[in-house]
Chains A and B, each alone.
With several copies, the nearest count.
Chain A
Amino acid sequence: MAIAREAEPVGSLKEVREAGLDREDLLTVYRNMLVTRGVEERGHILYRQGKIPGSFYTGRGNEAGSVGVATAMGPNDVGTPLHRDMGVHITRGVEPWRIFAQYMGRADGPTKGRDGNVHMADGRLGLIAMVSHLPAMLPVAVGCALAFRIREEKRVAVGWFGEGASARGDCHEAMTLAGTRRLPMVFVCDNNQWAYSTPTHLEYASETVADRAQAYGFEGVVVDGTDVLAVYREARRAIEKAREGGGPTLIECLTLRMEGHAVHDDAFYVPKEMFEEWAKRDPIERFRSWLKDNADLTDEEEDEIALEIKKIMNDAMKRADDSPLPDPSTVTEGVYATPEDLDTPHHK
């Protein structure tokens, strides 16, 4: 018995306008999706060139989910995006060169080489850096929502989690606290159908992840995670509901992880047909055709945007590569915060 609501796909430009996006916004969404993929594709190249130490993860297939939700967030809303959510960082305005610097362990990455991959965030953009342990950031996101509730601010916290990570206790405790206190919180499940090599039926036994929302006293919605506009619309609805005191929502964005778990993984365990089927639903391709059909995206515009992004990428890689490696003598610096660290607008 499915309990969660299934979101409708988005149709016309009119509908989208009603949802709050004008043509310029739509092109920004399109750019953000392209930059998201561009950063990860370039990262892949850098990795193969041996410029990225450690491992390397991407969110291919999740560009609509991550960009769609981030687009719906207000400037003062906050979030805890994960390893498939590069689009959130991009949409919130993280400069690509800093991401490359992060990948390469350089001093100018958001974590100054202390952490790698997407384990980063720019706090000024309302994001909090993820840890590896999944889904350990959900209780943190709920704490942000609690702060907003205590201070009676009209702000919302968004917490991401994978369908696999939904099995761990942190997910349950976070949803329990958010549900009992009706906090201004939106839970976003990046359901990419695999947790490393583990299929969904070994991760959860409900029909959908969103079905679980009722266990916490709020609404669950399943949305096509390759349809950026549907994701946007549902996220916006949930965020505005939370903002107005309506409590949490769980949005499950269904997609497929289009690559291995990380760069070393060829995903032999994913049926080939599954990849083929979902390749047809590539979020960027889908949105591009939608723009052509519904918002008069011209070939010239398309080329222009492609060029623009190519340039951003090339400049960013160059600038990142110019960033120095961190100075080893700083290895013990900053383990403890000092009172000056609290000298931020947040901490007044």
Chain B
Amino acid sequence: MPVMSYLQAISDGLRVEMRRDKRVYVIGQDVGVYGGAFKVTQGFQDEFGPWRVIDAPLAETAIVGSCTGAAIMGMRPVAEMQFADFVSCAWDHLVTVAAKQRYRAGTPVPIVVRCPSGGGFSGGPFHSQNPESSFAHIPGLKVVCPATPADAKGLLISSIEDPNPVLYMEHKHLYRRIKDEVPEERYTIPLGEARIHREGDDITLVTWGAMVYTADEAATQVEAEGISVELIDLRTVAPWDKQAVLKSVEKTSKALVLHEDTRTGGFGAEIVATITEEAFESLDAPVKRVTAPDAPVPFSPPLEKAFIPQVEDVVAGLKDLAAY
């Protein structure tokens, strides 16, 4: 199996699907000649031509809104946001039109919005955000947050195939840092199924995206002290795999939810609430959250490091829980 970076796997998934299905096209700022700000679509315009790899004006509502129209006409559009942060400019379209059209009018809207998300490289308040929680609250939308190259490819193909609007959050900090084996052929990974990244008995640690690696390192560290962590990578946040989490918590009796987004009203709250509601009798300790604090993402390295959850924050949380 070839080894690919997370970024190459996204690129590969998109290419594979565009070759197979000519209804699939890409639209976004600088996706054509330039190959996208992160080069995910490098070479695509040469292969697929300017009408399947479309350089759009700086107009996110036009980009995403036009995807909805094209999708209703039978296309399978994939929009690229230059950074996930800019999807705020298409918020109204997504929550008002795309999310509700199926329920109201019976019209499915199979679109994918690729959102390069996350911090860790001094991108500052507008190039580092993780907007998944905002969208996960909106009925009608799906939100995908792959952590591994193989998932990135399989989940992207599933997202394109899915008959609903999907926000595909690709974590920028994984783009070139994370490499792994990725099957060459086309395959799909179902939306809504978590992945056990690491089995364990004492504490369930639920996370997604780049935090999977932070969590894994923390789990390794506490393992040395005899704490066995079951690490669940949700892979998709909407829908999320409640059953996998509840099953694990029934086994471990303790849970920690970790995310890079800010705390109050972040999706971690939903997971904690659900565990409390549905596995209360299994719990031997309060469910804990480790998240970014309630602030914009700061630019300067020491501030950003204090903002994004670090391995030691997760270790501390796990130890607290173990000691409870």
Query: Do A and B touch, yes or no (CB under 8 Å, in the complex)?
Result: yes
Check: B295 CB closer than 8 A to any chain A CB: yes
A143 B71 Cβ-Cβ under 8 A:
yes
In angstroms, Cα B62 to Cα A172, docked, is 9
A3-11, A133-141, A306-314 - interface stretch: A133-141
Known: A120-B105, A331-B295, A337-B164. Is A167-B57 also a contact (CB below 8 A)? Answer: yes
Chain A residues, CB < 8 A from B109: 337
Within 8 A of B (CB), among A158-175: 162, 164-165, 167-170, 172-174
Chain B residues, CB < 8 A from A113: 298-300, 302-303
B62 A129 Cβ-Cβ under 8 A:
no
Check: B60 CB closer than 8 A to any chain A CB: yes
Known: A139-B61, A140-B72, A326-B302. Is A332-B294 also a contact (CB below 8 A)? Answer: yes
Check: A275 CB closer than 8 A to any chain B CB: no
User: In the complex, which of the residues A117, A136, A339 contacts B97, with contact meaning CB atoms closer than 8 Å?
Assistant: A136
B34 A147 Cβ-Cβ under 8 A:
no
Q: A263 to chain B: closest CB distance in Å? A: 13
In angstroms, Cα B107 to Cα A180, docked, is 28
Nearest neighbor of A142 in chain B, beta-carbon distance:
B66
Check: A115 CB closer than 8 A to any chain B CB: yes
Q: Which of A114, A132, A169 has the most CB of B within 10 A?
A: A114
Contact mask A101-112 → B, CB, 8 Å, 1/0? 000011000111
Q: Which of B51, B93, B300 has the most CB of A within 10 A?
A: B300
A interface: dominant SS: loop
Known: A133-B92, A134-B58, A337-B110. Is A143-B105 also a contact (CB below 8 A)? Answer: no
Q: A335 to chain B: closest CB distance in Å? A: 5
Check: B200 CB closer than 8 A to any chain A CB: no
Known: A114-B125, A331-B293, A332-B295. Is A202-B55 also a contact (CB below 8 A)? Answer: yes
A176 B296 Cβ-Cβ under 8 A:
no
B73 A148 Cβ-Cβ under 8 A:
yes
A140 B139 Cβ-Cβ under 8 A:
no
Check: A131 CB closer than 8 A to any chain B CB: yes
Known: A147-B69, A167-B59, A196-B29. Is A337-B108 also a contact (CB below 8 A)? Answer: yes
Q: A77 to chain B: closest CB distance in Å? A: 11
User: In the complex, which of the residues B33, B52, B92, B294 contacts A335, with contact meaning CB atoms closer than 8 Å?
Assistant: B294
Check: B75 CB closer than 8 A to any chain A CB: yes
Chain A residues, CB < 8 A from B101: 129
Chain B residues, CB < 8 A from A146: 54, 66, 69-70
In angstroms, Cα B57 to Cα A134, docked, is 12
Nearest neighbor of A107 in chain B, beta-carbon distance:
B300
Known: A147-B73, A197-B33. Is A176-B57 also a contact (CB below 8 A)? Answer: yes
User: In the complex, which of the residues A55, A143, A330 contacts B69, with contact meaning CB atoms closer than 8 Å?
Assistant: A143
B73 A177 Cβ-Cβ under 8 A:
no
User: For this complex, into which size category does the number of interface residues on chain B fall?
Assistant: 35 or more
A331 B303 Cβ-Cβ under 8 A:
yes
B65 A140 Cβ-Cβ under 8 A:
yes
In angstroms, Cα B52 to Cα A327, docked, is 43
B73 A346 Cβ-Cβ under 8 A:
yes
Q: Which of A196, A334, A336 has the most CB of B within 10 A?
A: A336
In angstroms, Cα B97 to Cα A126, docked, is 17
Nearest neighbor of B139 in chain A, beta-carbon distance:
A335
A129 B69 Cβ-Cβ under 8 A:
no
Known: A111-B106, A168-B60. 17 other contacts (CB 8 A): A53-B300, A113-B299, A114-B104, A114-B299, A119-B104, A119-B124, A123-B107, A131-B96, A132-B85, A136-B96, A147-B74, A165-B58, A169-B59, A174-B65, A269-B33, A325-B300, A335-B102
Q: List 25 A-B contacts (CB under 8 A).
A: A105-B300, A105-B301, A112-B106, A113-B299, A114-B300, A115-B298, A116-B300, A119-B125, A121-B105, A132-B124, A139-B68, A139-B69, A141-B69, A143-B69, A168-B57, A168-B58, A177-B62, A197-B30, A202-B55, A325-B302, A326-B302, A327-B302, A330-B303, A336-B164, A342-B108
